[in-house]
């Protein structure tokens, strides 16, 4: 199970623990991954995604899951998220026409 957000691409970072004596040892900074079910109003389905907690705030700020998916950067998304975005986009433009 990779520690990576499916929507933003945020993953594990590496750095150092620095003690009082300035000794440096390597460590991992893991993202705050949550497994959530996001409901799409356009498709009427729920999608299970691994998302960073900060991204959940971004979804709320964007006005919901559908609007976030339509405005998000595609090159950072996982293949699963790209296919969800494609479904949402297809239905949105079918309704608009």
Total number of domains in the chain: 1
pLDDT for 92 beyond 80: yes
The per-residue pLDDT for 1 is 57
> Do the domain assignments include residue 68?
yes
Q: Indicate whether 4 belongs to any domain.
A: no
Q: Which DSSP category does 75 fall into?
A: G
What's the full length of the chain, in residues? 97
Choose among 1, 7, 4, 17: nearest CA to 68.
7
Q: Is the pTM of this model over 0.95?
A: no
C-beta of residue 8 within 8 angstroms of C-beta of residue 52: yes
Look at residue 30 in the predicted model and tell me its pLDDT. Answer: 96
Could you list the residue range(s) of the whole structural domain that residue 60 is in? 13-96
Phi/psi zone of residue 9: left (φ > 0), alpha (ψ -120 to 50 degrees), beta? left
Q: CA separation (Å) from 62 to 13, 17, 54, 55?
A: 26, 36, 13, 10
Residue 42 lies in a domain: yes
pLDDT tens profile 11-52: 999 999 999 999 999 999 999 999 999 999 999 999 999 999
């Amino acid at each position: 199970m990779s520690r990576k957000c499916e929507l933003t691409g945020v993953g594990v970072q590496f750095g150092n623990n620095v003690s009082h004596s300035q000794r440096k040892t390597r460590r991992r900074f893991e993202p705050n991954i949550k497994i959530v079910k996001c409901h799409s109003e356009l498709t009427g389905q729920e999608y299970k995604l691994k998302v960073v907690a900060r991204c959940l705030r971004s979804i709320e700020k964007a006005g919901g899951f559908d609007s976030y998916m339509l405005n998000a950067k595609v090159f950072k998304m996982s293949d699963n998220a790209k296919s969800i975005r494609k479904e949402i986009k297809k239905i949105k433009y079918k309704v608009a026409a």
